[in-house]
Chains A and B, each alone.
Chain A
Amino acid sequence: MQISEVVNLKEGTLCYHCGDVCNKSLDIRSGDKVFCCTGCKTVYEILHENNLCKYYDLDKSPGISQKKLESAASSRYSYLDDPKIVTQLTSYNDGKISVCNFVLPQVHCSSCIWLIEKLYKLNSGIIQSEVNFVQKTVNIKFNPKEITLRQVVELLVAVGYEPQISLSDIENQVKFRSNKSLYYKIGVAGFCFGNIMLLSFPEYLAPVGSLEHSFKQFFGLLNLVLGAPVLFYSAGDYFKSAWSGIKQKSINIDFPIVLGLVVLFIRSSFEIITNTGVGFIDSMTGLIFFLLLGKIFQSKTYDALNFERNYKSYFPVSVTLSRSGNETSIPVSNLKNGDRILIRNNELIPADAILFNGNANIDYSFVTGESIPVPKVAGEIIYAGGRQRGSAIELEVIRTVSQSYLTQLWNKDAFIKKDEDKFNSLVNVIGKYFTIVILFIAAAAFMYWYPVSLRTAINAFTAVLIIACPCGIALTNPFALGNAVRILGRNKFYAKNASVVERISKIDTIVFDKTGTITKTGDADITFNGNVLSTTEQKLIKSLVRNSTHPLSGRIYDAIETDELLEVTSFTEHSGKGIEALIDGNTIKLGSALFAADNNKILLGKERSPGKLDSRIFLSINGSIKGFFAINNIYRKGLEEITAGLKNKYKLVVLSGDNEGEKENIERYFNYKSTIYFNQSPNDKLEYVKELQSAGNKVMMIGDGLNDAGALKQSDVGVAISEDITNFSPACDAILDASEFSRLDKFIGFSKTTKKIIITSFIISMVYNIIGVSLAFQSEISPLLAAILMPASSITVVLFTVLSTNLLARKRGL
């Protein structure tokens, strides 16, 4: 019985292509190079023939292991011959040149870039291929007369880079994301700001009255000309945001900013044109320039990550159609009712269908979270989203993709709702009161000076509005949160945007999904302790556990490598104890120590190894105890520390799609305050989160699969946990690398600290404002004072937030 395969690294030779350990018994060679599988060897031979072996010189063993690639039928990409699909996948086509973009998740080193950009050497039809390493995309220009799109894709597959083509790519093309307009705006603002400063220096430095009057006016008018595009073009987004706030009958922080800017501009224009002063255009442009810098800083995005995936990103593009013995591959979207489709091992069922023939063993974990495959017999309905485990099956489609059960789930409100609606940032709350107070003070200043002269009163009124422009407050958020996003990103917690950090700081309830989130996906470490099991015994066990839906049974089932199953008679499942059955005349029992030993206490005290949270499942055949299966590490490393750190501060909830089999173990991790629910459908999870929210809780949902997607979207902060962050993860607010799961507590704590920093920084900029306003209240402010005070407050705030977030992050070990 080969349950856990141990390979001695020292003796194993590493594959020349991918660097994996080679299996000695296979001995795959080409020349003097050794490979782990024929796939790797094929790639090497293609490269060797075309003089592209430099690929192996740039990085050591740069290749992508070909072992996991399922030996696909040659018709696999035949859907790419469909002209409709071709037009959808190419972004440009004039008959001579076609351009297409693909996502290549395997790109990981400079060798990858080198090889993919040398594709033209492998096929002359390819004109140019350009890799964007950060986004893991490739832009390929090819001549459609020489090479078809299908051949391009097959060429990429042949060298080991299989493009990720999913249904959503077909519907909306792969786009290169960029924020060019922000660069334009900052370019214009920087240009004008620099020139205006240059022209303003004479005013700052010359002794009063010594500057020639005509100069003053000339510089002033030039400043006005340079300042206008900054206000109307570069600061355009602030106008839009303030306006959309007013339309929704709320005042956000952009409103007092825009108010200050507009008053600044009007007063400056008036002074310059009437030749009564030089205005404050320098301060205005400087302020806008700083604000835009903050925006750039905040807009840190993780190009390679996708936070917006829905079920369509998971769906295959094509499906094998079986028509009177012929197999053709067609796009999923072209499926019609009554079509006969062929689903092979590990393929996803794209549409609701009736099983026609074959042994269906459907894994619905994708949809429900339940990880044990469900057997189905011919004539039963199989819903879209299930994955076949086992031999190929034939199905007849009864509902097209867009009408299937899974798609319906996706049309729920939670998925349509926009992100911005669910959160009111602290800075906007402040902005509202700030505006009211400032308008009140400005009015008071006006009233106070009105008896003196109208002119002084207007001066004081505008001076208050100008000096109180909350630039410091407006800069706090982008710099504090933007920096926090960077720090968290360095620690493999990737937030979608800056507002996520602020939202995390508010949460009081954490909801965990079970499968894949607190337990590890993939193979558990299962060992059998006791007598060595014979082949017959293995068959007996496998046949027995096949009938059980307990999660541990599923793991044992996967671990036993035998294909032959025996007929099971009189199967009984004793809830919480174990399972037993009569197979081939043998009574076989699997379960707890007491159960397997027929209430004999001989095994007492051996239920689990001391101090460890493994699960032991005892086996007895015909009354004699054979030993036990020890299942280790099914829970994520560090779960204990996390729950210990979190359970006193937050309400913890576990929602599991699985049955109650693991209840006892989960309860040991989470204390009595936690709530644990089993058999939760995706919709149940979503509703539960909604319920928590309506009770006033701020919920963080941590999940991993599509079955959590609804809850992730509904929650205040949805965190997807992923073993490989560039791989699939459902739509969410943040992606957490599974290896850093144990530091979740720290990430939440750091977000809360960031919020404290923001509040402190608000207070600092308020102090500046109070000083400025009290000076402004006394009517006259000089342009020099404004030019010093406004940038000084901005720079203090920026320095304070960036330095303190860095310092506190280091203190927390981030």
Chain B
Amino acid sequence: MSVIVILVFFSVLVAGGFLIAFIWAVKSGQYDDRYTPSVRILFDDESENEK
């Protein structure tokens, strides 16, 4: 019995961690623009002496 209570407690804790991560992601604006980052990531990095 008690081992299940502990397990349930931890499973809720872990899931809660993901919920907090999700809320943080929304708060920091990651869901505001779901298109531009997909383009931006394909730009190559600059080498400074590029002509």
Contact = CB atoms under 8 A, between A and B. Distances in A.
A188 B23 CA distance: 9
Secondary structure dominating the interface of B: helix
Contacts of B39: 110, 113, 133
A183 B24 CA distance: 11
A113 to B, nearest CB: 6
Interface of A: 51, 54, 58, 110, 113-114, 117, 130-135, 176, 178, 180, 183-184, 187-188, 191, 194-195, 198-199, 212, 214-215, 218, 222
Contacts of B4: 215
Nearest to B43: A114
A470 B33 CA distance: 34
Nearest to A219: B8
B26 A187 contact: yes
Closest 9 CB pairs of A and B: A191-B19, A133-B36, A183-B26, A132-B33, A187-B22, A110-B39, A178-B32, A134-B35, A133-B35
Contacts of B51: 51
22 contacts: A54-B50, A58-B43, A110-B39, A110-B42, A113-B36, A113-B39, A114-B43, A132-B32, A176-B32, A183-B26, A184-B26, A187-B23, A188-B19, A191-B15, A191-B22, A194-B15, A195-B12, A198-B11, A199-B8, A215-B1, A218-B5, A222-B8
Contacts of B33: 132-135
Contacts of B43: 58, 110, 114
Interface in B1-49: 1, 4-5, 8, 11-12, 15-16, 18-19, 22-23, 26-27, 29, 31-36, 39-40, 42-43
Nearest to B51: A51
Given A110-B42, A114-B43, A132-B36, A180 B26 contact: yes
B44 to A, nearest CB: 8
Interface of B: 1, 4-5, 8, 11-12, 15-16, 18-19, 22-23, 26-27, 29, 31-36, 39-40, 42-43, 50-51
A113 B43 CA distance: 10
A215 B3 CA distance: 12
B16 A191 contact: yes
Given A113-B40, A178-B29, A198-B11, 15 more contacts: A58-B43, A110-B43, A113-B39, A117-B40, A131-B36, A132-B33, A132-B36, A180-B27, A183-B26, A187-B22, A187-B26, A191-B15, A191-B18, A215-B1, A218-B5
B9 to A, nearest CB: 9
A180 B26 CA distance: 7
Contacts of B31: 178, 180, 183
B28 to A, nearest CB: 10
